[in-house]
Amino acid sequence: DQQVKQNSPSLSVQEGRISILNCDYTNSMFDYFLWYKKYPAEGPTFLISISSIKDKNEDGRFTVFLNKSAKHLSLHIVPSQPGDSAVYFCAASGIGSARQLTFGSGTQLTVLP
């Protein structure tokens, strides 16, 4: 049973437009959420995170939104650039048995020039 779900395996966006990647979770114990980015033949790298006490965190072109009531978070990239083409993993952690990172299955973002 996947506790962190990324239902879109792939997304294509035109350069300069907004990319929106979505993530849903089921475990109410999760209180910290992260996005990792992965290029081919490399390991994932940390991108941005958000604590459950916030509903938005922004870092340059990247913004993560958290909707706790819906158990949903999203990553917005504005404007999208071809170098953003990668696999994006959503991850979550919390307390107790949810302490360690639980990752989603990833979304392949392709930004078209």
- Residue from 22, 105, 108, 110 touching another protein (CB under 8 A): that is 105
Candidate ranges 14-22, 60-68, 76-84, 86-94; the one touching another protein (CB under 8 A) = 86-94
Minimum gap (Å) between residue 29 Cβ and another protein: 12
CA separation, residue 12 to residues 1, 77, 103, 107 (Å): 28, 13, 22, 10
Binding of another protein at residue 80 (CB under 8 A)? no
User: Could you tell me which residues come within 8 angstroms of residue 48 by beta carbon, excluding any fewer than 6 positions away?
Assistant: 34, 35, 57, 59, 62, 63, 64, 75
E-strand spans in 1-113? Answer: 4-5, 10-14, 19-25, 30-38, 45-51, 56-59, 62-67, 72-77, 86-94, 102-103, 107-112
Binding of another protein at residue 101 (CB under 8 A)? yes
Binding of another protein at residue 109 (CB under 8 A)? no
Find the binding residues for another protein in span 33-72 (CB under 8 A): 34, 41-46, 49
Nearer to another protein, 15 or 48 (CB): 48
Minimum gap (Å) between residue 60 Cβ and another protein: 17
Distance CA 61, CA 101 (A): 24
Residues lying near another protein in the complex (CB under 8 A) are found at 2, 6, 32, 34, 41-46, 49, 89, 91, 93, 99-106
